[in-house]
Amino acid sequence: MNARINGLLAELPEAEFEFFAPHLKLVSLTKGQTLFSQGDKPSHVYYPVGAIVSLMIDNQAGDSTESFMLGKSCMVGAATLGEPSFYRAQVRHSGLAYQLPVSVLLQAREHCPAYFRNAMNAVNRMVMQLTQAVFCSKRHGLEQQLIRWLLVNLDRGVSNTIEVTHQEISELLGFRREAITLNLKKMTERNEVCVHRGVLEVLDRQSLEARSCDCYWTAMQRQRPLEHQMALPALVPGIQMIERKLIGVTHDLILDGSNGSGGDGQCRATQSGQKQP
Ligand SMILES: [Zn+2]
């Protein structure tokens, strides 16, 4: 495993990487594991090289919401150096990460100017993506938020599979589980995804990208491919808002008589993850 799979470490000049290298420890992170909690002063930061970590906000009633996902392009713990964390860092997708003591990172302030310049750029990207996610949650419907969440998951990780259940997506996005199930069922029928035993496999990323809202592209600072612009139906904000407000009632009616377990059938993907003809 190469630590430079992580984007922040990959951008470092050789001299600065050598400062970090002796202190980096490869660790295996397991889905559900809490790296540190709200209020903790973490002893280590993490550079994912396969794992995905969610920034979870917990309230006193015991509800939790995901505010952001961190993966191979950034680090976990950047906002906590010497300060209590305002979020709980929970592993979303099992995988590897490099662990670094916070004490070493604090020393690096004097020796590694390029690192902190890059880290500041990463924080700026994170703030922009968070801002765009807030816009999406207020203006766009469940389907588009779900597509954006799937695409961000793929970008953060190193594979096209996501360990997640319908219930977990429901809690993460703040929609009813039945509505999540219905949307995943539609995606399954389009051969865009396959959901089986808590693993969601994305089979056709291009199709999801074609139906995604502009929030994903704006947040990633990428231009939507021209062929997608031709294929995408015009968004009507008023209708999107009505859909969002009515979504619970609408899906109760549509799902009447369903056992709510749609999408948990056998995967139809081939071993290579390609869409079947
Ligand atoms: Zn959106």
Dist. CA 135 → ligand 1 center (Å): 7
Which pLDDT does position 271 carry in this prediction?
Answer: 35
Dist. CA 137 → ligand 1 center (Å): 7
Dist. CA 144 → ligand 1 center (Å): 6
Alpha carbons 29 and 32: distance in angstroms, whole number = 9
pLDDT digits (tens, 9 = 90+) for 125-173: 888 888 999 899 889 999 999 999 999 999 988 889 998 999 999 988 8
Dist. CA 201 → ligand 1 center (Å): 22
pTM of the model: 0.74
Which pLDDT does position 232 carry in this prediction?
Answer: 53
Low-confidence ranges of the chain (pLDDT < 50): 234-266, 268-277
Dist. CA 106 → ligand 1 center (Å): 37
Dist. CA 133 → ligand 1 center (Å): 7
